[in-house]
Chain A
Amino acid sequence: MNNMHILSAMSILVFTHILVFAMGFVIAYMQNNGNQMPTAKINSFFDKQKKREKAKSIQIDDTKVVLDKDIKTNSLEKKFDKLGTNTKKKNDISSSVNKLKNMRG
């Protein structure tokens, strides 16, 4: 009789352990589900970075001049004689030019 009591008590204990273990799984699963949003965001951020890096490797033709049609100065009426200060300085740059030309071959 005593043995039967012990056996049933042990069965209840084992069953309780299994139940707690299973609940742990359920809680972990639920928490994992909740975390899926930020994980997805991080992934998309890195995707964007990758896309940017990819875009950077594309060469741009920087020799083409942007023809900006907005820069019109015809509507501005001149109301002065001279603009700017003029100065003349003794400064022979021919030696600099020759030296640089020689250095550059």
Chain B
Amino acid sequence: MKGLDVGTSFIVMSSQDGDDINFVEFRDAFYVIKPSTPVANKMIEKGLKGKVFIKDEDGSFIILGKDAIEKAVERNETARRPMYRGVVSVKEKDAKRILAYILKEVVGESSEENEKLVFCVPAQPVDQEDEDFDVGYHEDVVKNILSEVGYEARSINEAEALCYAELEDADYTGIGISCGAGMTNVCVMLNGEPTVVFSTTKSGDWVDRMSAVASGEPDSVVQVEKESGDFTVGEPNDNPVLSAVSSYYERLIEYTAKQLGAALDGHKALPKFKHPIKIVVAGGTSKADGYVEKLHEKLLASDFPLEIEVVKHSDDPLHAVSKGCLIAAQVL
């Protein structure tokens, strides 16, 4: 059995090995170089030695993962993504093919016929028109790719998976917030049953985009600075890129807290919790220093309709959703 977090920025596969979990993670990005002459072709191939890349039938080199981001930054460009806002990108012509290749390589062939695999999908966003977003096609595409390599794949909501991974000590009662690159997914759970699930369309990519506009740097450069840089959410920074990142992070958190409060306030399916609830936060975007503390602060300031016991950061924020999918594969 396997769990698979198909994220906008990372693909994380998990499988059980006794008392251990094996995780395989891969950066969900690609960058295409098309050689203009046969000489250039040889030079490029030589230059890419040791990098993760594939060669297309038209002679193009498709660099994958973090090597793609490095190469894009080197050329002052932005790496491309097969996913956008949690689903297969409609903006990228090659999205499905590249995603299929990466997924097949990450999960590998199934060890037995129809091996169970659970992957995550985002929820319907509360801040976007219905017609602009649909998860059904994405779900079918991923299922189809995984069935080609012998898996019986099922999908669950991303934040629901997070709850399965992190809310055992709270009897699977509380809220899971998965802060991915493309979206923020939320699940309210009561005794193991998801009662309210929704998402918002602003997360890490929005911070990158806005910071790129503010600093005049490409998105990939901002992403690299953000991930390797030293900054605290909401605090000033000497680095102009990180200063913009810090500022937009605070705006993002405020927006997320307000959306959360507005979506849950008066929701018919919201349970009447007897005790203050535990909120668990995970995802790559939540790894920024001060993210969880700031979210707690903004939730308290935004008339959040539920009493909060604690806002906890996952011990393993990048792998938590995949782990939840693995747990779901064994339960469902």
Contacts and interface: CB of A to CB of B under 8 A. Distances in A.
A90 B17 CA distance: 9
B255 interface: no
A72 interface: yes
B261 to A, nearest CB: 28
Interface residues of A, number: 34
Nearest to A69: B144
Nearest to B326: A93
B97 interface: yes
Contacts of B106: 83-84
A4 interface: no
Contacts of B331: 97, 100-101, 104
A87 interface: yes
B12 to A, nearest CB: 9
B295 interface: no
B327 interface: yes
A71 B171 CA distance: 42
B26 A83 contact: yes
A86 B21 CA distance: 10
A80 B319 CA distance: 24
B214 to A, nearest CB: 31
Contact of A83 (B65, B168, B171): B65
Interface in A74-101: 75-80, 83-93, 95-97, 99-101
Contacts of A65: 140, 143-144, 147
B62 interface: yes
B238 interface: no
Given A79-B54, A87-B25, A97-B327, A71 B97 contact: yes
B19 A92 contact: yes
B21 to A, nearest CB: 5
B192 interface: yes
A77 B100 contact: no
Interface in A23-82: 62, 65-68, 70-73, 75-80
Given A103-B191, A104-B192, A75 B48 contact: no
A57 to B, nearest CB: 15
Contacts of A67: 144
Contact of A88 (B17, B51, B101): B17
Interface in B39-93: 45, 48, 51-57, 62, 64-65
B100 A83 contact: no
B300 interface: no
Contacts of B48: 79
Interface in B152-203: 164-165, 168, 171-172, 191-192
Contact of A100 (B64, B65, B105, B172): B172
Give the 7 A-B residue pairs with the shortest CB-CB distance, closest first. Answer: A84-B26, A66-B140, A77-B55, A75-B57, A103-B192, A80-B52, A84-B24
17 contacts: A67-B144, A71-B148, A75-B57, A76-B54, A76-B97, A79-B55, A80-B52, A83-B52, A84-B106, A86-B23, A88-B21, A91-B323, A95-B168, A96-B168, A97-B330, A97-B331, A101-B331
Interface of B: 11, 13, 16-17, 19-26, 45, 48, 51-57, 62, 64-65, 96-97, 100-102, 104-106, 136-137, 140-141, 143-145, 147-148, 164-165, 168, 171-172, 191-192, 316, 319, 323, 326-327, 330-331
Given A77-B54, A96-B164, 15 more contacts: A65-B140, A67-B144, A68-B140, A71-B97, A75-B57, A76-B56, A83-B64, A84-B24, A87-B22, A88-B20, A88-B23, A90-B19, A91-B323, A92-B19, A97-B327
Interface of A: 62, 65-68, 70-73, 75-80, 83-93, 95-97, 99-101, 103-104
